[in-house]
Amino acid sequence: MVDKGSGGAPASNADWSRDETVLLMALYRRHPKAEKRHPEVVALSALLRGAALARGAAISPTYRNPAGIAMKLRNFAKYDPSPTLPLGAGLRGGGKVDRQVWGEFGRDDAALAAEVVRVRRAFSSGLENLEAPSRGPGPASGTHVHVRDDVAGCVYLALVDGPLDILAPDRPDPAATMMVMKVGRTGDLDRRIAELRSGLPPLSSIAYVPLAVRDFAGGEAAHEFEQTLLAASHQRGWSLGREFVLAEPEAMLNLMISLAEDGAS
């Protein structure tokens, strides 16, 4: 949580937790020199800020913002035996937690990957805990029948990193903070992201970066939430057609949380 001053505004940002630092270290392993506009930095910022808001925390504009994440990323250089960044390039503070996380996972990438899965699920708990019960597949009539298995699944939000003039050619001047995202539904998020990535040419400049997920006990409930999220995005003028939107990642994540809360009330 963030302390509040006498005026009710956040006075300072909370120290980084172990779980937040786990996600940061995983990002460092992939992109140690990532800057604030890097899609995975933007995605992590939106995830951490959205999780704080879902907990009811009061956060400042600088709380886990992309610039701060890009700077703190460099803290790991002091523990990396073969750093690609100069020592002392990161933020002050957080040394104890950074050191503990590096000591735990610095030589075990498999354990780090498994812990990242657990942490991401935990940070999405604001969505997962608002799970709606499945009502089973709806009735169908006529000769055209769409079968949707009523099995556990999730609705996901993924950043689509790539040139905006290619991804959104009809939006010539989007704000610098807006990015293309994909809304989807799947029973296996890791496999689905891998499928999306494998469908791109080897030298493609486009990449998919998972941002948030909400789990459901049944496929019908997941489908309903997916369609509600897409419709709400369209109403806000964010839709690019089908399952793609152009918006600020934090705004899209907050919409996802808001709709989950409405569905649970």
What would the mean pLDDT of 3-31 be, rounded to a whole number? Answer: 75
Q: How far apart are CA 219 and CA 187, in angstroms?
A: 9
Q: Is the pLDDT of residue 7 over 60?
A: no
Q: Is the pLDDT of residue 97 over 70?
A: yes
pLDDT value of position 24: 92
Q: Is the pLDDT of residue 191 over 90?
A: no
pLDDT value of position 61: 83
Query: Please, what is the average pLDDT of the chain?
Result: 76
Q: How far apart are CA 51 and CA 45, in angstroms?
A: 10
pLDDT value of position 209: 80
What would the mean pLDDT of 171-198 be, rounded to a whole number? Answer: 81
Question: Picking from 11-25, 47-61, 122-136, 170-184, which range would have the lowest pLDDT averaged per residue?
Answer: 122-136
pLDDT value of position 238: 93
pLDDT band at 258 (very low <50, low <70, confident <90, very high): confident
Q: Residue ranges of the domains in the chain?
A: 18-123, 137-264
pLDDT value of position 2: 37
H or E element, residue 154: strand 153-161
Residue-wise pLDDT for 100-153, tens only, equals 999 999 889 899 988 887 887 777 655 444 333 333 333 333 433 444 455 678
Q: Is the pLDDT of residue 171 over 80?
A: no
Instruction: Answer whether 72's CB lies under 8 Å from 65's CB.
Output: no
pLDDT value of position 117: 78
The model's pTM: 0.58
pLDDT value of position 85: 54
Closest CA to 233 of 255, 258, 254, 203: 255
Through-space distance between the first and last CA atoms of the chain, rounded to whole angstroms:
25
pLDDT band at 10 (very low <50, low <70, confident <90, very high): very low
pLDDT band at 226 (very low <50, low <70, confident <90, very high): very high
Question: Picking from 118-132, 158-172, 244-258, which range would have the lowest pLDDT averaged per residue?
Answer: 118-132
Structure tokens at 49: 């800020």
In eight-state DSSP terms, residue 121 is H
Name the CA radius of gyration of the chain, rounded: 20
pLDDT value of position 230: 94
What would the mean pLDDT of 224-229 be, rounded to a whole number? Answer: 94
Q: Label the pairing between strands 244-247 and 239-241.
A: antiparallel
Q: Label the pairing between strands 244-247 and 179-186.
A: antiparallel
